[in-house]
Structure 1
Amino acid sequence: MNATETDPRTETVDTDAGRARITWVPAARPRLLLALGHGAGGGIEARDLKALAAALPAHEVSVALVEQPWRVAGKKLAPAPKTLDTGWRGLWPVLAAPGLPVVAGGRSAGARVACRTAAGLGARAVLALSFPLHPPGRPEKSRADELLGAGVPTLVVQGGNDPFGKPAEFPPGEYRMAEVPHGDHGFAVPRRSGLTEAQAMEILTTSVTGWLAGIE
């Protein structure tokens, strides 16, 4: 594994799955690092990842936005889960290098990666954004075992109208749930909901900030 700086906030990391990239958003006096992976259909420009990167440094949490090798290579389709896990594990020594406790996180497919690998990597906790509990319309294809097997404190933040799993569909377990009312899988909210995108993101960031305050 090699890490190479490309600008003051970004570095590329060679992993067994290919070259990945980390964008660092540091806090002035950090006590935690939150590493956030993206989903299978987009990158670190997702509204929830951007909102957390903007909000958390003021609360003593540095953020590392992680781009998987397939995304860095410009491919349009994510590889198999095993390959995603390989890329994430290859990045971990760089994420842990600053010496801060690391919270593993991500949205959608990135949340699944964080859950599957957290205990083995020594993550302090998991933040699962828009956890894809099942494919849309296929509740029998549950991925609950990944969430329930995380083995560390976990917060799920889920849109109230997420077709990949509404909050009420989740089984009981050792995790916390926060809901963004009316939100879809990308936390977009319809106009008829009475919420603006900014208000939806404030609900999300407030929920995450409050939960992280209890992680040491």
Structure 2
Amino acid sequence: MREEIDTEAGTARVTWHESRDARWVLAVSHGAGGGVEARDLQALAAVLPAHGVTVALVEQPWRVAGKKLAPAPKTLDVGWRGLWPALTVPGLPVIAGGRSAGARVACRTARELGAAAVLALSFPLHPPGKPEKSRADELLGAGVPTLVVQGGNDTFGRPEEFPEGPHALVEVPYGDHGFAVPKRAPLDQEAALKVITDGVVEWIASLGRPS
């Protein structure tokens, strides 16, 4: 099911992948360089409903409007806040998620919006080649249980660069910022995506059954 939601930043779009036995909702948005067709988002939408998780793939207003460049972080937050009420299903806790820029949005707004947890896919810890410009404060300030899923070769921050903190981390070996793996890697693309989906399923199970 697909629906459009008006926000102060424009019209957003949500595509629902519903679970028949839903215990959680995972609302997950894209990054600044692509949409919800990203391989990791599609893999989660395909796998998680069988594990009691309804997945809501969120397209930010700038993407719905056909723009090629994402707006400033504050505007991204405005769009996310505006569509959040539409993501809440009565009786189901919502995990705020996103990839890259979307992960930053989820971390910045999680506590304010009452998210049960945060899923940060390819968290951009710093711009490529500029580790001094760290965004670790956004991740560490999420204030709720957080899982980072990071490619081993992500130029925006490799797993070993992440600071210690109240978050779990799953590494996708050889994966880049989009979780693509080289053809010469010991695991293929399907296996890399399974690392992601298995890790997320296990982490959500570790959160315990929602009351």
The answer on 1:84 being equivalent to 2:76 is yes
**Given residue 195 of structure 2, which amino acid in structure 1 is its aligned partner?**
I
TM-score by length of 1: 0.95
Task: Look up the match of 1:58.
Answer: 50
Separation in 1, partners of 2:186, 2:162: 25
Q: CA offset at residue 195 of structure 1? A: 1.1
Q: CA offset at residue 175 of structure 1? A: 0.3
Task: Look up the match of 1:5.
Answer: none
Separation in 2, partners of 1:160, 1:88: 28
The answer on 1:183 being equivalent to 2:168 is no
TM-score by length of 2: 0.97
Task: Look up the match of 2:184.
Answer: 192
The answer on 1:107 being equivalent to 2:109 is no
**Given residue 182 of structure 2, which amino acid in structure 1 is its aligned partner?**
P
User: Which shifted more, 158-167 or 89-98?
Assistant: 89-98
Separation in 1, partners of 2:83, 2:123: 21
Q: Deviations over 1:21-78 (max 9, x none)?
A: 0000000010000000000000000000000000000000000000000000000000
Check the 8 A contact 2:25/2:89 in 1, yes or no: no
Separation in 2, partners of 1:98, 1:16: 24
Aligned-CA RMSD value: 0.6
After TM superposition, the structure 1 = structure 2 runs for residues 54-203 of structure 1, keeping only pairs within 5 Å, are 54-203=46-195
The gaps in structure 2 that reach 5 residues or longer are none
- Give the 4+ runs in structure 1 shifted more than 6 A: none
Match of 1:10 among 2, 23, 31: 2
The gaps in structure 1 that reach 5 residues or longer are 1-8
Separation in 1, partners of 2:186, 2:89: 44
Separation in 2, partners of 1:211, 1:203: 12
